[in-house]
Amino acid sequence: MPLSPFSLIIALGALLGHLYLFRRLVWNVTPRRGPRVFAALLLGLMTLVLIARRYLQRTLPEAPGDVVELVSYSWMGVALCLVLALAGLDVGRAVLALGRRLRPAPVVPTVDAERRRFLSQATAGGALALGGGLAGYGSWRAFSAPEVTELVVRIPKFPRALEGFSIVQLTDLHVGPFIQRRFMDELVRRANALKPDLVAITGDLVDGTVPRLGGFVAALGNLQARHGRFFVTGNHDYSSGAEAWVAHLDSLGIPSLRNRHVRIGDAGGAFDLVGVDDWHGGRRLGQKGYDLEQALAGRDPERAAVLLAHQPANFKVAAEQGVDLQISGHTHGGQLFPMTALIGLSWEHSAGHYRHGDSHLYVSRGCGFWGPPMRLGSPPELVKLVLTS
């Protein structure tokens, strides 16, 4: 199958990153042929595994496929941290060298080959220590308790009978080889401790099939919310078998809002909870996907509307069609530096709270992670939105 643009970026990054690591950590450090050949073969193999990882996961049996995912994504994270550490040290050295050139100074004797190799070894050692520290911290942050973000959202049309209504959002869990039942049980415990009136699960729940991951996801059946638990699909849920997952969640008492809305409340006061399928997931597989018009059809425009949509796409259109609050995820806030600094180039609404007129959008950084089991600069997040008129 042809590589997608995202996969091409990963492939190019893997090739250039491993060449850089080989040059700085091997070629400049040792003149010995044996270590150089061994390192070249190992880094070349990891480059091929990273490029072919998705094909291998699809074609290998379940257990070997899980091993490929664990090894490839773990190494991807470690390699990225090593590249960042080396690049930081190299930039620092370049700045110092430039400073020496700009100020008058005595002529410095030429550094011999042995001295140059010693400096390369010292730099490599420092990079290994710094990169290892970054990787360790990033892994700890990914698996540690998510930060709780509590935000009061003012919706003029919101019924006073439901004043203070709370929605806890779980999103981008990516249950799979890394995230399993223990992680899920702890997340459910923390969500229940927030005493939500409603729980919204806004997609990218899984990376795998129901037979493989259903036991881990079953922890969500223990979520407690007076007005129910609801799910909308994300792009990863489509690639994992959206129909089967919707049926499985329904068996846990978690209905899916697939381009439809439900009324929350009673005659004394109510609002519409609207859900749409993922913006891209269905289209990529030739299936029906996001349909906001269908989801809003037949609702009373005088009632407040809260939209659950995995991707923070189409917000301004939704706002202009009467949606008062959109709750989304998908971006992970970048998850790892430098993507944390670049995610805003791809998404106008990348993480946090946004407004368009009187309408609101909240984009969560997500509770889990995808790819490397690390978070650097974008900690996991558990969101509690309190609605008021």
Query: Do 314 and 276 meet the contact criterion of CB atoms below 8 Å apart?
Result: no
The residue that leads in pLDDT, 94 or 188, is: 188
CATH label of the domain that carries residue 243: 3.60.21.10
The residue that leads in pLDDT, 338 or 104, is: 338
**Same-domain status, 38 and 167:** no
The pLDDT value given to residue 104: 64
As a whole number of angstroms, the distance between CA 13 and CA 272 comes to 45
SS3 of 223-279: the string is CCCCCCEEECCCHHHHHCCHHHHHHHHHHCCCCECCCEEEEEEECCEEEEEEECCCC
What spatial distance separates the first Cα and last Cα of the chain, rounded to whole Å?
52
Strand order in the sheet with 269-275: 260-266, 269-275, 305-308, 325-328, 359-363, 352-356
**Same-domain status, 133 and 153:** no
Residue 212: alpha-carbon gap to chain centroid? 21
Cβ count near 377 (within 10 Å): 15
Boundary residue ending a domain (117, 141, 165): 141
**Same-domain status, 281 and 230:** yes
Interval 230-253 mean pLDDT: 95
As a whole number of angstroms, the distance between CA 167 and CA 264 comes to 12
Look up residue 312 and give its DSSP letter.
Answer: -
What does the pLDDT look like over 9-64, one tens digit per residue? 888 889 999 999 999 999 988 889 999 999 999 999 999 998 888 888 778 887 88
Residue 3: alpha-carbon gap to chain centroid? 21
Interval 260-287 mean pLDDT: 89
Residue corresponding to tokens 């978070």:
375
Interval 370-389 mean pLDDT: 96
pLDDT at 176 over 90: yes
**Same-domain status, 15 and 133:** yes
**Same-domain status, 350 and 223:** yes
**Same-domain status, 112 and 151:** no
The residue that leads in pLDDT, 76 or 127, is: 76
Helix (H, G, I), strand (E, B) or coil at 331: coil
Boundary residue ending a domain (88, 119, 141): 141
**Same-domain status, 33 and 155:** no
The pLDDT value given to residue 340: 92
CA–CA distance from 151 to each of 12, 33, 388 (Å)?
40, 59, 11
Q: φ, ψ for residue 326 (rounded to 5)?
A: -110, 135
The residue that leads in pLDDT, 346 or 258, is: 258
- The strand ranges marked E within the chain are 147-154, 165-170, 198-201, 229-231, 260-266, 269-275, 305-308, 325-328, 352-356, 359-363, 381-388
**Same-domain status, 151 and 295:** yes
As a whole number of angstroms, the distance between CA 44 and CA 131 comes to 20
The pLDDT value given to residue 1: 44
**Same-domain status, 134 and 155:** no
Reference 127, options 42, 20, 34; nearest CA is 20
The pTM (predicted TM-score) of the whole model is 0.90
Q: What is the mean pLDDT of the chain?
A: 91
Boundary residue ending a domain (95, 126, 141): 141
The pLDDT value given to residue 282: 73
**Same-domain status, 32 and 86:** yes
The pLDDT value given to residue 127: 85
Please name the residues in contact with 256: beta carbons below 8 A apart, sequence gap of 6 or more: 230, 231, 232, 233, 246, 249, 250, 275
Structural domain of residue 216, as residue ranges? Answer: 147-388
The number of distinct structural domains making up the chain is 2
**Same-domain status, 68 and 163:** no
**Same-domain status, 101 and 184:** no
